[in-house]
Every structure is written in structure tokens, then in C-alpha cells.
């Protein structure tokens, strides 16, 4: 099997998700969903003729095409990072705990690994948000014949952020640093609030283009 999810075929990735192994899991799936969503925004931007837009909007669409493609590949890397973070947590839990020193070392390693496991989906949320915040513009000014593609992109990015937020929360449940936990819970809550509003705005814009309003 390929060492990176981005090197897998779609069938290999789906087979890996459906296997009895804990990785790849929901965090990696969320990142891959985000990668597909960002790629769709890039596609719609690329299908939009600059001649149909004002100069400033055409330039913004060009920037969105480039940046969304960059974000798509970054989200594929985030899928690998999420699985690596989970594996790090499992490795920490498997550390020896026969002596008091070993127990202390293991506790520290677990806490450090759990933070990495929080930062991985946090990064997924951040990357997906950077793409999703561009989705309304693409839906409103992009090629109307690709409005449904932009809508699907927004939905996938919404799922990526939601999945990232859930994975942040589940890993926070075992972290002892209350200040860090509070801060990351607030981040997850803000991510949820943003994705709900941004995806609704993009979907509403896409629906208007499709229905000719």
C-alpha cells in the first residue's frame, strides 16, 4: 500500500477506511473531503471566463483558482498528518509503565502526543476555512454552468471543518491542561459557527444562479 494517502487510488483509500484498522479514520477522511472541496472551487474558478467579469473580480477569481489548488494539496498532506498523529498517541500509550519513572515519562508522552492529535485536525479546519471563505464568491461570480460543482465544493469543505472540529474535541477529552482545552474548544466552536454561515451563504448563492434569480 502507498505510504501517503495522496499516492493511493480512490479504491485503496476507501478500502483502508472500511478496514478494521483505526487508521485512516475520520480525521483523515475529513481532510480528504476538504481537498476535494478546494479542488472543486479551483475547477469552477478555472472554468470562469475573465471576459464575463470586471477586472477586479477576474483577478480575484484567478487568485482563488491558484490558492484553492494549493489548499487542496495542503489538505491531502493534512490527511497524512492526522493519521501520523493518531499513531503517535497509540505509540505513547504502549510505552512501558513498570516503574514510577516509566509511568511519568509515559504520561508526559501521552499528553504531548494528544496535543499533536489536536493540532492535526485544527490544521484541517484552518485550511478548509481558507477555501470555504472563498466559496460564496465562486458561487456568485463563477461559471453558472458549474454552480452545482461549487455547491458541492462548499459542502465538502463544510464537512472537512465539521470533521476537524469533532476530532479536536475527542482528543481534548484526555488532555489535562485546562487552559489549552478551553482554548481549543473555543476554536472548534468558532469553526462550527463559521462553517455553518459560510456554507449557507455559498449554497444560497449557487441556488440563485441555478434557479436564475
Distance CA 204, CA 161 (A): 19
Task: Compute how many other C-beta atoms are within 10 angstroms of the C-beta atom of residue 87.
Answer: 14
Quote the longest CA-to-CA distance of the chain: 72
pLDDT over threshold 70, residue 2: no
Cell digits for 133?
Answer: 471563505
Q: At what angle do helices 55-93 and 100-132 cross, to 10 degrees?
A: 160
**CA neighbours within 13 Å on the CB side: how many for 77?**
8
Over residues 27-48, the pLDDT tens digits come to: 999 999 999 999 999 999 999 9
Distance CA 64, CA 210 (A): 21
Distance CA 166, CA 60 (A): 32
pLDDT over threshold 80, residue 178: yes
- pTM as predicted: 0.94
Domain boundaries, the chain: 23-211
pLDDT number for residue 155: 99
Over residues 125-171, the pLDDT tens digits come to: 999 999 999 999 999 999 999 999 999 999 999 999 999 999 999 99
**CATH number 1.20.120.680 given to 23-211:** yes
Amino acid at each position: 500500500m502507498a505510504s501517503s494517502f495522496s499516492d493511493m487510488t480512490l479504491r485503496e483509500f476507501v478500502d483502508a477506511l472500511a478496514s478494521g484498522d483505526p487508521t485512516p479514520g475520520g480525521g483523515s477522511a475529513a481532510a480528504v473531503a476538504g481537498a476535494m472541496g478546494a479542488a472543486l472551487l479551483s475547477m469552477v474558478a478555472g472554468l470562469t471566463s475573465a471576459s464575463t467579469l470586471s477586472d477586479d473580480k477576474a483577478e480575484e477569481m484567478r487568485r482563488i483558482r491558484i490558492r484553492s489548488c494549493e489548499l487542496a494539496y495542503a489538505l491531502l498532506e493534512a490527511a497524512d498528518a492526522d493519521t501520523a498523529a493518531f499513531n503517535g498517541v497509540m505509540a505513547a500509550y504502549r510505552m512501558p509503565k513498570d516503574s514510577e519513572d516509566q509511568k511519568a515519562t509515559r504520561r508526559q508522552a501521552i499528553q504531548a502526543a494528544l496535543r499533536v492529535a489536536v493540532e492535526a485536525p485544527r490544521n484541517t479546519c484552518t485550511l478548509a476555512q481558507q477555501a470555504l471563505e472563498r466559496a460564496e464568491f465562486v458561487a456568485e461570480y463563477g461559471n453558472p454552468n458549474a454552480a452545482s460543482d461549487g455547491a458541492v465544493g462548499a459542502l465538502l469543505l463544510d464537512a472537512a471543518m465539521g470533521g476537524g472540529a469533532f476530532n479536536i474535541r475527542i482528543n481534548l477529552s484526555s488532555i489535562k491542561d485546562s487552559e489549552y482545552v478551553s482554548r481549543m474548544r473555543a476554536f472548534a466552536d468558532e469553526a462550527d459557527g463559521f462553517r455553518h454561515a459560510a456554507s449557507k451563504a455559498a449554497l444560497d448563492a449557487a441556488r440563485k444562479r441555478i434557479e436564475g434569480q
